[in-house]
């Protein structure tokens, strides 16, 4: 049976070898000037080195250009696209149609993955971006398993699904942490403090803790738990979903490597020996649970949840 | 930054006038609000149908009501746009064709959409409908605008994060109609990129289920060596992502000179009093500026008038630059309005000077009230005797929608409104 690609997020060039060893098929990297919520910050020099390292190990490298761009960056997109084509990146991940037009002009053979985090919610939209030039659609995280399978059944593009890690719930252009410090009168601390790590919002009513951070792209708020469906991959593997993503944001490199190993095992079992997968999947889930830091629990996200409106 | 734009103005009798007046676009949550918005001076209204629109809690229009709304608006030369700006899921696909055909058949001028599914379906089954790109697409640069122009869209609504200088660049580079928000509530997130409701309440924000989690209070902590350190002190207001409402009344001249084609007021959930007040103020500002841009000044009474229906503080957001903390609300997220809607004028007898008014809030003899409407200058007066329809004297107008009569000091017209201070 065809195996879905296992796509992971390295924290550094050195991490890529470790992830290859752990069984990853592809990595997504980039820098926050162009990409959103990356696990590591990769300069151009790093991207070139990462592509070499990954290709040596037979892995694909996708580079994130999925930021929401304002006029001030439009003119430099072409240069970055040309650079990525030059160093041999395997695909560009985009949300903004400005990137799509730039790729058409600058590197028409570059593969494109359409990824807006929240708006890939039906199969028609996936195929629409496919007709515009995308080879792959990255599905919204707020879809349940049935909707994902239905999209795959109708899709004319590759379908990527996030199976593990934190999900973005909210992105604002505003400087919300900085503004809060300013409001409190802590003006001197703002610049130093607002980019620090480990901040979270506590929601008393739900007893949830939502990680929050600021960067060049604004303020981001993340899900309170890591989604994890290592024990529920069967239907998606059978349906031929093309890529499973582990998003390692907010986690240490070692955690990402260990989780990658577990999903490698899960995917291989699922495709090669389904019965054994069914027998061992609880153990795999327990192994992930054992890796979780004390403040991050796991759940099944929206895969088995009913959403109303 | 008021650059005179010679593409939108002409010299007539030695005086510069704006010949390309922007459309004033108002929200209408139901048929009554549509009629009020149009009557008070909106050039166009946007409404939601029963499906595919983003305000699941608004009344929303049936196709029959849409048809009636279009007929009413057309009598005033106004247009009706229907929002169909959800990000659809597979389950929303069946029925879309019929719905769009019905909108076209009802005479709707255009639809406001975000999802390519709805854009292309409309092109295929209801080609007479104009297609406008919703702010849900968070359109922030000229090249993305260029993309949607090449896709054949008539108009785009820019992201609320786009400022005046960026609008000018977009207008210079791409020939397409631009719609921009001038007044009303703001998403503090990039529109379409927020799923707080999905996570917190299992309601889909991008299909109309938004429960405004950005206006709740949260405590900000930092995790440091396994310890949770509060980043607030006792007595500090909690953290919130709550953006003040937008209010660009003072920027309307800039908006007009930028050549923005449609000036949009947010608020399909707002009351008819809100719609009437906001529309009438912006109508006056736009008309006054266009008639004599070189001698225009904002009248402070217009600014004060907007305050009378505001239940949140306002700010210019991204229009003039990057919003600092004064653009956000902490601790309190709304307040009572200074004025409340008290009555809708149904008629006026010039012989007796007696007005017929439908009660919308409690009032009684001795109350000071203010009248406003498109045909009159605002005036205040103290209410004397109140009678019911049969001429019986009342101690108060206490029943909702009750029809009462009383003497007024100046002539009134149907649809004029009466408000009183809270």
Tens digits of per-residue pLDDT, B386-404? 999 999 999 999 999 999 9
Question: How far is it, in rounded angstroms, from Cα B207 to Cα A122?
Answer: 12
Of A171, A180, A196, the CB nearest to B190: A171
How many other C-beta atoms are found inside a 10 Å radius of the C-beta of residue A15? 24
Residue-level pLDDT at B58: 67
Angle at the Cα of B73 from the Cα atoms of B72 and B75, rounded to 5 degrees: 70
- Chain A residue numbers with beta carbons less than 8 Å from the beta carbon of B220 are 177, 180, 199-202, 212
B370 shares a domain with B344: yes
For residue A89, give the DSSP letter. -
User: CATH number of the domain that B401 lies in?
Assistant: 2.40.30.10
Residue in chain A closest to B161 (alpha carbons) equals: A173
**ipTM > 0.90 (yes/no):** yes
Q: Domain end: B327, B356, B374, which one?
A: B327
Instruction: Give the contacts of B368 (CB within 8 A, at least 6 positions apart).
Output: B380, B381, B382, B383, B420, B421
The Cβ of residue A109 has, within 10 Å, a number of other Cβ atoms equal to 6
Note whether residue B182 is domain-resident.
yes
Chosen from B56, B85, B189, B222 to mutate, greatest number of chain A CBs within 10 A: B189
Residues B306 and B382 in one domain: no
Residue of B nearest to A96 (CA): B144
A189 by Cβ neighbours in 10 Å (0-12 / 13-18 / 19+) ranks as middle
Domain ranges, residue B375: 339-421
pLDDT band, very low/low/confident/very high, at A221 (cuts 50, 70, 90):
very high
Q: Which residues of chain B have pLDDT under 50?
A: none
Residue pLDDT, tens place only, B200-231: 999 999 999 999 999 999 999 999 988 999 99
Q: Tokens 């500002």 — which residue?
A: B285
Distance from C-alpha of A58 to C-alpha of A52, rounded to nearest angstrom: 10
| Domain ranges, ordered by start, for chain A | 5-166+232-299, 171-219
Instruction: Answer whether B194 sits within 8 Å of A118, measured CB to CB.
Output: yes
Q: Are residues B111 and B26 in the same domain?
A: yes
B204 in a structural domain: no
Of A169, A199, A307, the CB nearest to B196: A169
Average pLDDT, chain A: 96
pLDDT score of B5: 79
Using CA coordinates, name the residue in chain B closest to A144.
B89
Residues B349 and B288 in one domain: no
Closest residue in A to B149 (Cα–Cα)? A97
One domain, residues B280 and B300: yes
Which superfamily, per CATH, for A5-166+232-299? Aldolase class I (3.20.20.70)
Residue-wise pLDDT tens digits, B111-121: 999 999 999 99
Q: Is the pLDDT of residue A36 over 80?
A: yes
| Whether the Cβ atoms of residue B19 and residue B10 lie closer than 8 Å to each other | yes
Residue B413 lies in a domain: yes
Give the C-alpha separation, B12 to A245, whole Å.
64
Contact B239 A100 (CB under 8 A): no
Contact B239 A201 (CB under 8 A): yes
Q: Which of B118, B122, B124, B34 is nearest to B79 (CA)?
A: B34
Please provide the average confidence, as pLDDT, over all residues in chain B: 95
pLDDT of residue B3: 67
pLDDT in tens, A281-295: 999 999 999 999 998
B266 domain-assigned: yes
Q: Are the beta carbons of B241 and A170 separated by less than 8 Å? A: yes
Chain B residues touching A142 at Cβ < 8 A: 195, 198, 204, 206
- Diameter over CA atoms, chain A: 61
CA distances for B375 relative to A184, B51, B244, angstroms: 47, 36, 32
Confirm whether B235 is domain-assigned: no
**CA of B52 to nearest chain A CA: how many angstroms apart?**
11
Residue B245: its pLDDT value, please? 96
Each residue's pLDDT tens digit, A230-258: 999 999 999 999 999 999 999 999 999 99
CA B2 from centre of chain: 25
Answer whether A125 sits within 8 Å of B141, measured CB to CB. Answer: no
Total number of domains constituting chain B:
2
Q: Provide the pLDDT for residue A188.
A: 66
Residues B60 and B148 in one domain: yes
């Amino acid at each position: 049976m065809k195996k879905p690609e296992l796509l992971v997020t390295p924290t550094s060039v050195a991490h890529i070898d470790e992830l290859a060893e752990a069984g990853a098929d592809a990595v997504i990297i980039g820098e926050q000037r162009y990409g959103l919520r990356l696990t590591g910050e990769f300069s151009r020099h790093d991207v070139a080195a990462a592509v070499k390292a990954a290709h040596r190990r037979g892995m694909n490298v996708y580079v994130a250009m999925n930021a929401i761009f304002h006029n001030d960056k439009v003119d430099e997109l072409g240069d970055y696209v040309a650079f990525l084509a030059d160093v041999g990146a395997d695909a560009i991940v985009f949300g903004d149609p400005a990137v799509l037009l730039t790729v058409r002009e600058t590197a028409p053979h570059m593969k494109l993955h359409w990824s807006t985090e929240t708006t890939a919610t039906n199969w028609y939209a996936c195929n629409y971006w496919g007709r515009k030039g995308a080879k792959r659609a990255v599905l919204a995280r707020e879809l349940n398993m049935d909707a994902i399978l239905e999209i795959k059944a109708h899709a004319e593009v590759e379908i990527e699904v996030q199976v593990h890690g934190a999900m973005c719930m909210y992105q604002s252009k505003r400087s919300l942490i900085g503004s809060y410090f300013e409001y409190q009168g802590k003006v001197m601390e703002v610049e130093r403090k607002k980019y620090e790590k480990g901040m979270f919002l506590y929601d008393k009513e739900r007893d949830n803790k939502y990680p929050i951070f600021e960067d060049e792209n604004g303020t981001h708020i993340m899900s309170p738990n890591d989604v994890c469906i290592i024990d529920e991959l069967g239907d998606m593997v059978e349906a031929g979903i093309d890529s499973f993503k582990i998003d390692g944001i907010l986690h240490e490199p070692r955690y990402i490597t260990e989780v990658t190993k577990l999903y490698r095992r899960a995917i291989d079992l699922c495709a090669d020996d389904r019965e054994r997968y069914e027998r061992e999947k609880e153990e795999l889930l327990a192994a992930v649970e054992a890796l979780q830091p004390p403040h991050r629990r796991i759940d099944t996200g929206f895969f088995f949840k009913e959403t109303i409106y | 930054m008021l650059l005179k734009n010679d593409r939108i103005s002409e010299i007539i009798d030695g005086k510069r006038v704006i010949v390309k007046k922007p459309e004033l676009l108002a929200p209408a949550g139901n048929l009554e609000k549509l009629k009020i918005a149009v009557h008070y001076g909106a050039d166009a209204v946007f409404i939601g149908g029963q499906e595919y629109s983003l305000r699941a809690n608004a009344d929303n229009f049936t196709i029959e009501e849409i048809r009636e709304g279009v007929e009413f608006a057309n009598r005033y030369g106004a247009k009706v746009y229907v929002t169909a700006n959800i990000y659809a899921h597979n389950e929303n696909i069946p029925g879309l064709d019929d719905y769009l055909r019905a909108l076209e058949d009802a005479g709707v001028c255009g639809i406001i959409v975000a999802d390519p599914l709805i854009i292309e379906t409309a092109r295929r089954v209801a080609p007479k409908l104009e297609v406008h790109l919703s702010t849900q697409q968070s359109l922030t640069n000229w090249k993305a605008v260029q993309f949607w122009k090449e896709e054949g869209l008539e108009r785009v609504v820019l992201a609320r994060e786009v400022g005046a200088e960026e609008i000018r660049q977009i207008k210079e580079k791409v020939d397409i109609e631009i719609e921009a928000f001038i007044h009303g509530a703001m998403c503090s997130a990039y529109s379409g990129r927020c799923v707080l409701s999905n996570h917190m309440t299992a309601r889909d924000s991008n299909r109309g289920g938004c429960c405004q989690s950005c206006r709740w209070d949260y405590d900000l902590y930092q995790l440091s060596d396994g310890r949770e350190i509060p980043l607030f002190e006792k007595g500090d207001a909690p953290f919130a992502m709550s953006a003040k409402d937008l209010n660009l009344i003072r920027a309307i001249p800039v908006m007009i000179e930028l050549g923005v084609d449609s000036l949009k007021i947010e608020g399909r959930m707002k009351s008819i009093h809100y719609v009437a007040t906001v529309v009438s103020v912006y109508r006056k500002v736009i008309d006054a500026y266009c008639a004599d841009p070189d001698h225009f000044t904002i009248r402070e009474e217009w600014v004060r008038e907007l305050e009378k229906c505001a239940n949140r503080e306002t700010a210019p957001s991204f229009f003039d630059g990057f919003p600092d903390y004064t653009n956000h609300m902490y601790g309190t997220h709304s307040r009572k309005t200074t004025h409340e809607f008290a009555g809708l004028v149904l008629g006026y007898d010039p012989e007796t000077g007696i007005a017929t008014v439908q009660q919308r809030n409690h009032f009684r003899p001795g109350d000071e009230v203010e009248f406003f409407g498109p045909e009159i200058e605002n005036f205040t007066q103290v209410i004397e005797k109140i009678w019911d329809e049969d001429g019986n004297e009342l101690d108060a107008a206490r029943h909702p929608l009750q029809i009462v009569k009383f003497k007024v000091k100046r002539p009134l017209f149907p649809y004029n409104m009466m408000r009183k201070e809270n």
